[in-house]
């Protein structure tokens, strides 16, 4: 195995080298220099600084750590020569583009206009081969977003904007001259114009770039927002102005246990000072368009729950239109209901014809006779009698306003209720009888009132003996045994008589 040729050092030289390395790491001694005169970081390990033996490097260096096999990288200023050609063929060559005849691409990637008959078949107008360059950019060249951009290509855009600016400036100058001519004509007609009025007109004629209409603003028009100050005049351009009377919301109350302010979203939920103007951000949620948007969301959810294909986030325009139609139909229905009630109770028309005289007495028509002139004759809830006029089954109440028909209806409902109660109690009694019968059959204790048929009991005993004999010979028992699950009281009594009582001391004497 090949080994590196390292010069032998004594113990003293080795410790001196170690102390020198420690001093270099501490910054007390100058750093070591490589072949090119560059300083080597003293904190780099020794095995990285020392070169392999086959490089025959006498001094420490870091050149062996670099990839010296890589080709030189192209600088980032180099870019593709767009539109350059290298060769112009006269006839079609095998493997060239069928459409244009160039060798540098195929028909799928051809950027020329598709020909009716390709160059492969006509051998005419063969397109030249494009210049294809292959070079690898360095680290900065790969990340330069403006690499390959030609600044001269933007000159025509600048020229276009400059032409627009000059045309607008010329138009404004013509407007100014036109106003001056009109002013001079007015002065010749009337010489009594005051100088102050003239100065005001001059101020109006002056062009203020800050007053350019937003709809007419184009290109390099300079629009500024001028703010009046307390000392008169106007200050410079100000985008956001905050005065003392308009403090930030987080400065309204500095109490830590007061309303919570979120600095990330600039949101304050509650009102920190109820006695002042600021009502908190929740005030805006329940007013204006925010409330309308909330109601629209609620209507969308309710309509979706009832089967309507309506979704506020997926189709907001459709949801808004459906909500608008729903509210219009709701208002229309409400107005129709209101008109119906008014027509029925207040403003309704009838066929009854009534005529009155000047004193208000009825001349023609039915006279409504008042039932009583006393206030105590007016009963509550439109009753025709007082409380206590009815007594039945130890209960008081109002007498029937409907007469004999109401009495018959009440008696019919009472009879129906009794029939329903009797029908409900009938199944309960039959269920109880069935349960008593099953209890008499399956429980261990036999009821005293249970009557058994002697012949049936004898047959049941013989059947029980036969069953026990078959159980002893299980191998001879057939698989197609037919039997029923219905157990009669006689069979149950036979089972009790034949079964073995394990707790009976006389069980061994039973046969």
Q: What is the pLDDT of residue 76?
A: 59
Q: Which runs of consecutive H residues, i.e. helices, occur in 6-94? A: 11-26, 46-49
Residues 6+ apart with CB under 8 A from 372: 378
Residues 332-391: tens digit of each pLDDT? 999 999 888 887 777 767 777 778 888 877 777 766 666 777 777 777 777 777 887 878
Asked if 320 and 303 count as a contact pair (C-beta separation under 8 A), the reply is: no
Q: What is the mean pLDDT of the chain?
A: 76
Q: What is the pLDDT of residue 431?
A: 61
* pTM of the predicted model over 0.75: no
- The token duo for 43 is 């904190």
Residues 78-113: tens digit of each pLDDT? 788 888 999 899 999 999 999 999 999 999 999 999
By CB atoms closer than 10 A (0-12, 13-18, 19+), residue 67 is exposed
Which tops the pLDDT comparison, 107 or 229?
107
In b/e form, how buried is each residue of 430-464, taking b as 16+ CB within 10 angstroms? eeeeeeeeeeebeeeeeeeeeeeeeeebeebbeeb
- The token duo for 299 is 């209507």
Minimum mean pLDDT among 137-141, 456-460, 502-506: which range?
Answer: 502-506
Which tops the pLDDT comparison, 223 or 344?
344
Phi, psi at residue 496, to the nearest 5°?
Answer: -65, -40
For residue 308, give the H/E element and its range.
none
Instruction: Report the candidate in 226, 222, 257, 256 with the shortest Cα–Cα distance to residue 241.
Output: 226
- Confirm whether 142 is domain-assigned: no
pLDDT-above-70 percentage for the chain: 67
Minimum mean pLDDT among 25-34, 288-297, 400-409, 500-509: which range?
Answer: 500-509
In b/e form, how buried is each residue of 340-372, taking b as 16+ CB within 10 angstroms? eeeeeeeeeeeeeeeeeeeeeeeeeeeeeeeee
Q: How many CB atoms lie within 10 A of CB 201?
A: 16
User: What is the extent of the structural domain holding 19?
Assistant: 11-65
Q: How confident is the model at residue 4 (pLDDT cuts 50, 70, 90)?
A: very low
Bridge partners (DSSP) listed for residue 356: 362
Residue 479 and residue 500: Cα distance in Å, rounded? 27
Phi, psi at residue 403, to the nearest 5°?
Answer: 80, -145
Domain end residue (candidates: 282, 297, 312): 297
Domain end residue (candidates: 260, 276, 297): 297
Residues 404-449: tens digit of each pLDDT? 787 788 888 888 888 888 888 776 666 655 555 544 444 455 666 6
- Confirm whether 107 is domain-assigned: no
- Confirm whether 431 is domain-assigned: no
- Confirm whether 292 is domain-assigned: yes
Residue 125 and residue 101: Cα distance in Å, rounded? 8
HSE at residue 182, side-chain half, CA atoms within 13 A, is 9
- Confirm whether 259 is domain-assigned: yes
- Number of separate domains in the chain: 3
Residues 145-174: tens digit of each pLDDT? 888 888 888 999 999 999 999 999 999 999
Instruction: Report the candidate in 65, 29, 28 with the shortest Cα–Cα distance to residue 44.
Output: 65
Q: What is the pLDDT of residue 176?
A: 93
- Confirm whether 270 is domain-assigned: yes
Q: What is the pLDDT of residue 148?
A: 82
Which tops the pLDDT comparison, 7 or 45?
45
- Confirm whether 458 is domain-assigned: yes
HSE at residue 343, side-chain half, CA atoms within 13 A, is 7
Under DSSP, the state recorded for 507 is: G
- The token duo for 174 is 């013509």
Q: Is the pLDDT confidence value at 33 over 80?
A: yes
Cα–Cα distances in angstroms (integers) from residue 10 to residues 7, 21, 260, in the given order? 10, 17, 75
Asked if 403 and 390 count as a contact pair (C-beta separation under 8 A), the reply is: no
- Confirm whether 461 is domain-assigned: yes
Domain end residue (candidates: 234, 263, 297): 297
Q: Is the pLDDT confidence value at 43 over 70?
A: yes
């Amino acid at each position: 195995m090949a080994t590196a040729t390292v010069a032998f050092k004594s113990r003293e030289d080795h410790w001196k080298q170690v102390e020198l390395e420690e001093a270099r790491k501490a910054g007390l001694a100058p750093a070591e220099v490589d072949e090119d005169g560059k300083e080597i970081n003293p904190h780099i390990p020794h095995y990285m600084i020392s070169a392999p033996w086959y490089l025959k490097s006498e001094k420490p260096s870091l050149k062996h750590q670099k990839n010296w096999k890589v080709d030189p990288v192209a600088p980032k200023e180099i870019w593709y020569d767009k539109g350059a050609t290298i060769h112009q063929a006269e006839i079609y060559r095998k493997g060239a583009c069928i459409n244009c005849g160039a060798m540098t691409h195929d028909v799928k990637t051809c950027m020329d206009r598709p020909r009716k008959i390709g160059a492969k078949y006509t051998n005419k107008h063969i397109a030249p081969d494009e210049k294809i360059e292959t070079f690898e950019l360095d680290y900065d060249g790969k990340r330069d977003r403006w690499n390959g951009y030609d600044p001269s290509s933007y000159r025509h855009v600048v020229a276009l904007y400059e032409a627009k600016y000059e045309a607008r400036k010329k138009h404004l100058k013509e407007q100014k001259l036109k106003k001056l001519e009109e002013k001079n004509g007015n002065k010749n007609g009337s010489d009594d114009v005051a100088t102050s009025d003239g100065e005001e007109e001059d101020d109006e004629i002056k062009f203020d770039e800050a007053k350019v209409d937003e709809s007419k603003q184009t290109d390099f028009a300079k629009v500024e927002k001028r703010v009046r100050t307390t000392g008169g005049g106007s200050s410079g351009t100000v985008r956001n102005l905050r005065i003392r009377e308009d403090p930030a919301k987080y400065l309204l109350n500095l109490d830590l246990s007061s309303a919570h302010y979120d600095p990330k979203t600039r949101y304050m939920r509650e009102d920190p000072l109820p006695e002042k103007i600021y009502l908190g951000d929740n005030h805006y949620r329940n007013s204006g368009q925010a409330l309308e948007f909330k109601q629209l969301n609620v209507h969308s959810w309710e309509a979706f729950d009832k089967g309507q294909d309506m979704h506020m986030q997926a189709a907001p325009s459709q949801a808004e239109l459906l909500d608008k139609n729903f509210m219009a139909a709701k208002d229309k229905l409400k107005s129709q209901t209101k008109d119906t009630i008014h027509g029925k109770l207040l403003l309704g028309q009838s066929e009854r014809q009534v005529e009155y005289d000047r004193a208000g007495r009825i001349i023609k028509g039915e006279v409504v006779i008042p039932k009583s002139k006393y206030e105590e004759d007016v009963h509550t809830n439109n009753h025709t009698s007082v409380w206590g006029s009815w007594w039945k089954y130890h209960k008081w109440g109002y007498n029937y306003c409907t007469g004999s028909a109401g009495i018959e209806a009440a008696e019919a409902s009472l009879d129906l209720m009794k029939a329903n109660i009797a029908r409900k109690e009938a199944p309960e009694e039959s269920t109880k009888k069935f349960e008593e019968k099953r209890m008499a059959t399956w429980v261990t204790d036999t009821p005293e009132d249970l009557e058994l048929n002697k012949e049936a009991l004898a047959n049941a005993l013989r059947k029980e003996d036969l069953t026990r004999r078959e159980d002893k010979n299980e191998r001879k028992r057939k698989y197609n045994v037919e039997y029923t699950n219905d157990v009669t009281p006689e069979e149950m009594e036979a089972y009790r008589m034949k079964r073995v009582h394990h707790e009976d001391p006389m069980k061994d004497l039973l046969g």
